[in-house]
Amino acid sequence: MRHNKKGRKLGTDWSHTKAMKRSLVSALFLNDRIKTVEARAKEIRPDVDKVITWAKRGDLHSRRLAIAYLNDKELVREIFEKVAQGMWQDRPGGYTRIMKLGPRKGDNAPMVIMELVTEPCVPKAERQAAAAKKAAPKKAAPKKVAKKAEKAEEAKAEKSEELAEDLGFENDGTVEQIEAVDAAEKSEAVEEAREEAEKAEAEAAKEAETVDAEKIEEEKADIK
């Protein structure tokens, strides 16, 4: 009969396996990480979860169970204090992490590093929302757009005031002044468009001259 014999044998008898698991759990809580064989790390994971669950309960009975398992009152006090300060409170499980290192030289046993997970737990919905926010294209902030519009309006108003002063108007807001300023702005726009057209024509003429000169040189070269 094999009552109370569940779990991995780990190459030792039951009493040795029990003592080894207890020492590995104590070392993990003392140092926050240990280096061991993969089978042993997987075997002590439920025991680590059990001790942390006792610490999260925090009552006297749970404390006595932890002391009976670890045989170290100071270590149990440290674990219960960490949990009371907020560690693992937002994590429903998965208190350990196993990272593979590869086979050990000699017997080729798979080695791992086992460590306690101490960072806060982020819910899956929040992680997905953060990823979607990063992936979404950035839009211009409404405040920046409003500031740009205000600056453009201010520049336009300053330009209108300058035109009114040039035209000799003193009272702001009169119909005559508004009509005169609009006409001046239109004339300025027409002049700017005319200047741009003249510049474009001059550039096109220069390009045509260069093309003609290149053709003439090519013809001379062919004649020679």
Judged against a pLDDT cut of 70, whether residue 171 lies above it is answered with: no
Residue 181 reports pLDDT greater than 60: no
pLDDT at 90: 86
CB of 16 closer than 8 Å to CB of 6 = no
Q: Does residue 160 surpass a pLDDT of 70?
A: no
Give the per-residue pLDDT at 169.
Answer: 52
The pLDDT assigned to 203 comes to: 83
Residue 204 binned pLDDT confidence (cut-offs 50, 70, 90):
confident
Beta strands in the chain, from DSSP E residues, in sequence order: 33-37, 96-103, 110-116
- In a 3-state reduction of DSSP, which class is residue 192? helix
28 alpha-carbon distance from chain centroid: 31
pLDDT of residue 83: 92
CA nearest neighbour of 45 among 116, 100, 99:
116
The model's pLDDT over 62-121, given as tens digits with 9 standing for 90+, comes to 999 999 999 999 999 999 999 999 888 888 888 999 999 999 998 999 999 999 998 887
CA distance 25 to 70: 8
Listing DSSP states for 7-31 in one string gives S--TTS-HHHHHHHHHHHHHHHHHH
E-assigned strand segments in 108-182: 110-116
Instruction: Quote the pTM value.
Output: 0.55
pLDDT digits (tens, 9 = 90+) for 122-144: 777 777 787 787 777 665 456 66
Residue 47: how many other CB atoms lie within 10 Å: 16
- CA-to-CA distance for 122 and 74, rounded, in angstroms? 31
Instruction: Sort 45 into a burial class: Cβ within 10 Å, 0-12 / 13-18 / 19+.
Output: middle
Handedness of CA 163, 165, 168, 173 (dihedral sign): positive
